[in-house]
Amino acid sequence: QDGSVPPAIPPKPYMAFSEFDYASDDHSALGSSSQTGHVEQLNTLLSMGFSRPQAIHALEMYDYDVNKASNYLIDKAFH
C-alpha cells in the first residue's frame, strides 16, 4: 500500500439517468425518458383541473406546446 487515492468512480453516462433522477414533487414523470422534459407542461395542465389522460393526449397532439394544448382542452370542455 502506497497510500494512493483509489480511482474516482466515473460519472453515470447521460443515458443512464432515469426519469426519477429529475422527478418533480412526485413520481409522475411521463413514461418514456424522451418525455421527461415535459413534466412541467403536464403539471401546468393538471393544475388547471384537466385529467392526466386528457393532458397527455392534448400535449402529444400539439407537440408539447402547453398554450395550444390548454386552448384545445378548454375549447373542448365548452363544447
For the stretch 6-33, pLDDT in tens is 666 655 454 444 444 444 444 444 444 4
Read off the DSSP letter of residue 48: T
Sequence-ordered list of residues with C-beta below 8 angstroms from that of 77, at least 6 positions apart, any chain: none
- 76/8: higher pLDDT: 76
Higher pLDDT, 54 or 1: 54
Check whether 51 has a pLDDT greater than 50.
yes
Instruction: Please tell me the pTM assigned to this model.
Output: 0.53
Q: Helix, strand, coil proportions of the chain in percent (round to 5)?
A: 55, 0, 45
Average pLDDT score over residue span 35-54: 89
CA angle 32, 34, 38 (to 5 degrees): 95
